[in-house]
Amino acid sequence: MNLDDFSDLIERPDGGIRRDAEERRERLSVRPGALGRLDELGEWLSAAQGAVPPRPVEQPKVVLFAGDHGVAALDVSGRAAGGGCELVRAVLDGASPVAVLARTQRVPVRVVDAGLDCDPELLPAEVTRHRVRRGTGRIDIENAQSLDETRAALELGIAIADEEADSGTDLVVLGDLSVGGTTPASTLIAALCGTDASVVTGRGGAGIDDLAWMRKCAAVRDALRRARPVLGDQLELLAAVGGPDLAAMTGFLLQASVRRLPVILDGVVGAACALVAQRAAFRAPDWWLAGQVSGEPAQAKALDRMSLNPLLDHGVTVGEGTGALLALPLVRAAAALAAELPEVTTPVAETTPVDDTAVVADETG
């Protein structure tokens, strides 16, 4: 598998359609700029859909990739190592924030187990049937996964994107369910942005104290030493310091862009995968929105590198796609306003013919 092939497969959203949408916006009854970023969102959605005005977002889907990371054994996370299964179970039981919001907004949730460290029998078969491997290696001292497993995870993400596009999903809210996932995400972003561990290391969605933060910084530092020699190959990079869930999300983002399927990104894990995908295909970020500011410094660096401006900054750090799902009503509102506000036609002012003889008479007066 050569991820660079995606560069030829991904096209930008239709620029001509976007210009048509901008021109139509100039004719609406509400003056341009009065709706703030909703104008920009409506125009982006028109270009992504190839339609002016944009169609309503009628079949969104929350897609969550799940995995456990071996580096969590170093106590770098606010959750116990191997606890990804409990996160998944909370979503399936409707007891997590993303599940509550999805239920409120009537948006279905799909959970994909790419690398949980638990017995498959503990979760429904439709969740676990795609698992690539059980957990990951400790990225500070060993590879997260093999190259073959990385390829399998990328292919999994590609297949999930195709399934969603073929089923009629018209927008995806993308998130992760992971324990220890922010550590490999921070490592990937630091490697790709050329920064040090302390610059990108945050306290994760579960929150950690100062000692755990220092352990996390050390883990990212050591993982960076292993990542830098393979920066030229995205496949090897994901094998060294990623994981099956991160590789699957990367494949999903690339194939979603091929299929012209818009995606709202959530937190630092999604941002890391997006940055890897951008390295493979520079047009891909045109199909993504940044849903929210997660508070993770690595996310801010990645979004800045991709020129993605988050829609929300509400201090939501729980992860799991929650912040991205909170941004979905804004996208739906932008589509409705762009489509339903009336156009105003300005009548051409009538002009009175000039009496040339009167002008001459006045001049000769």
C-beta separation of 293 from 271 below 8 A:
no
Cα separation, 230 vs 273, in Å, equals 16
Residue 346 pLDDT > 90, yes or no? no
Residue 160 pLDDT > 80, yes or no? yes
Given 121, 320, 340, 350, the catalytic residue: 320
C-beta separation of 295 from 317 below 8 A:
yes
C-beta separation of 161 from 259 below 8 A:
yes
3-class state of residue 110 by DSSP: strand
Structural element, H or E, at residue 269: helix 268-280
320 has catalytic annotation: yes
pLDDT confidence of residue 284: 97
Mean pLDDT of the residues in the chain = 92
pLDDT confidence of residue 295: 86
DSSP character at residue 167: T
List 111's β-bridge partners, or say none. Answer: 64
161: number of Cβ within 10 Å? 25
**58-330 — its CATH code?**
3.40.50.10210
Residue 144 pLDDT > 60, yes or no? yes
pLDDT confidence of residue 205: 60
pLDDT confidence of residue 77: 85
Digit-coded pLDDT (tens) for 165-217: 999 999 999 999 999 999 999 999 999 999 999 899 988 666 778 898 999 99
Digit-coded pLDDT (tens) for 4-44: 899 999 999 999 999 999 999 999 999 988 999 999 999 99
pLDDT confidence of residue 356: 54
C-alpha dist (Å) from residue 43 to 16, 17, 38 = 11, 8, 9
List 112's β-bridge partners, or say none. Answer: 65
Cα separation, 260 vs 258, in Å, equals 5
pLDDT confidence of residue 317: 86
List 32's β-bridge partners, or say none. Answer: none
Q: Give me the phi and psi of 157, to 5 degrees please.
A: -60, -40
Q: Which whole number is the average pLDDT over 74-92? A: 92
Cα separation, 71 vs 75, in Å, equals 8
Q: Which whole number is the average pLDDT over 315-336? A: 94
pLDDT confidence of residue 3: 87
Residue type, 119: D
Structural element, H or E, at residue 46: helix 37-49
Tokens representing 194 are: 């050329």
130-139, 274-283, 330-339, 346-355: least confident range? 346-355
pLDDT confidence of residue 263: 98
Res. 276 pLDDT band, cuts 50 70 90: very high
Long-range contacts of 311-319 (CB under 8 A, 24+ apart): 311/37, 311/41, 316/292, 317/205, 317/207, 317/267, 318/97, 318/205, 319/175, 319/176, 319/205, 319/266, 319/267, 319/269, 319/294
Res. 80 pLDDT band, cuts 50 70 90: confident
pLDDT confidence of residue 344: 84
